[in-house]
Amino acid sequence: MATSGRARQFLDPAVVARLATLELRARTVVEGFLTGLHRSPYKGFSIEFAEYRQYIPGDDLSTIDWKVFARSDRHYVKKYEAETNLDCHVMLDVSRSMGYGSRGLTKFDYAQCLAASLAYLMNRQRDGIGLTAFDEGIVGMLPASARGGHLRAVLLTLERLKLGSLTNVSKPMHQLASSITKRGMVVLISDLLDEPERVIEGLKHFQFKGTEVVVFHILDPHELEFPFERATRFEDMESGAEVLAVPAKVRAHYVDAMRALIDRYKRELGVVGIDYHLLTTADPLEVGLMEYLSTRARAF
């Protein structure tokens, strides 16, 4: 994607994190992303895809947007609200393990900004936005809505969230899945530090309800690379348990175990058609936005 230097700077999570408010961060990320998208070689794949679709022989000629034709030399028809709108539910993990950050930016900082940016983008799409924050249970919930002012309520709720306690990804997922009555999409943002069987079972519950699912697996680069050198006392951020280890002796086993976990999520979620994306806190925020748009365009 050929994003301008200035726009790309505003997609750097470390730069974005220094902006004053979450609303400003979300707006800056999305507007920078859209600027790059409109200048990219992916012509026609932009925020407008939710408002227009290409003309198909047999469509009513009165629905052709001639202004778009004049700009693009392509025939597009305006889509009706029923064709374009859906409810998007963002599930954000606020368990204590999300507080880890090796470079000054924690997984929670990154996930919070990604959630806000997705909400801002969803609002631009005129989709309903819902928010569910959870640790071992649901700690905050806003039902999906596209009403005026709802985006601000979502952003304020996100900004006020604090890290909670233990992780239990599956329980909140089952609770939300049971409450969904309208076809839509769920976006899970979590470090997935839970039993994978339970996580995968919870995600399948959404599919059973006819809901599209996107998973953003957020990890710190150190959690993938385990670059530590000296004998170190490692503390479980949720249970407080400590273990003394010599990194050189356990690195290979740790990295293999982490890769096996990631491969399992990729494999088992891919088989059932759930979109899984691994992101680190060093990855540009545009990656998550593009994956969301790609899934939405394909599914709806």
The sign of the torsion formed by the CA atoms of 216, 213, 80, 44 equals: positive
pLDDT the model gives residue 24: 92
Residue 13 sits in the same domain as residue 155: no
DSSP run (H or E) holding 177: helix 170-179
162, with CB counted inside 10 A (0-12, 13-18, 19+), is: exposed
Task: Give the domain CATH number at 102.
Answer: 3.40.50.410
Residue linked to tokens 């368990």 = 95
Domain boundary residue among 62, 82, 102? 82
pLDDT the model gives residue 103: 81
Q: How much of the chain, in percent, has pLDDT values that exceed 70? A: 75
- Cα–Cα distances (Å) from 128 to 121, 125, 211, in that order, read 11, 9, 14
The number of folded domains in the chain is 2
pLDDT the model gives residue 49: 44
Domain boundary residue among 82, 108, 126? 82
Q: Which of 219, 278, 16 is nearest to 8 (CA)?
A: 16
First to last CA, the chain: 23
Intervals of the chain under pLDDT 70: 1-11, 37-63, 65, 67-69, 71-72, 75-84, 230-242, 244-246, 299-300
How far from chain centre, in Å, is Cα 271?
Answer: 20
Residue 140 sits in the same domain as residue 33: no
Residue 104 sits in the same domain as residue 54: no
Domain around 263: 85-299
Residue 255 sits in the same domain as residue 173: yes
Residue 12 sits in the same domain as residue 151: no
* Four-CA torsion 288, 298, 31, 280, nearest 10 degrees: 10
Residue 48 sits in the same domain as residue 76: yes
pLDDT the model gives residue 63: 66
pLDDT the model gives residue 48: 45
Residue 91 sits in the same domain as residue 187: yes
pLDDT the model gives residue 128: 93
Q: How many CB atoms lie within 10 A of CB 275?
A: 19
Residue 74 sits in the same domain as residue 109: no
Residue 76 sits in the same domain as residue 113: no
Q: How many CB atoms lie within 10 A of CB 153?
A: 14
99 bridge partner residues:
none
Residue 61 sits in the same domain as residue 162: no
pLDDT the model gives residue 238: 58
* Cβ pair 206, 172 in contact under 8 A: no
pLDDT the model gives residue 94: 96
Domain boundary residue among 82, 100, 121? 82
pLDDT the model gives residue 34: 81
Q: Which of 225, 212, 232 is nearest to 272 (CA)?
A: 212
pLDDT the model gives residue 250: 78
Residue 90 sits in the same domain as residue 51: no
* Cβ pair 169, 199 in contact under 8 A: yes
Residue 73 sits in the same domain as residue 132: no
pLDDT the model gives residue 14: 84
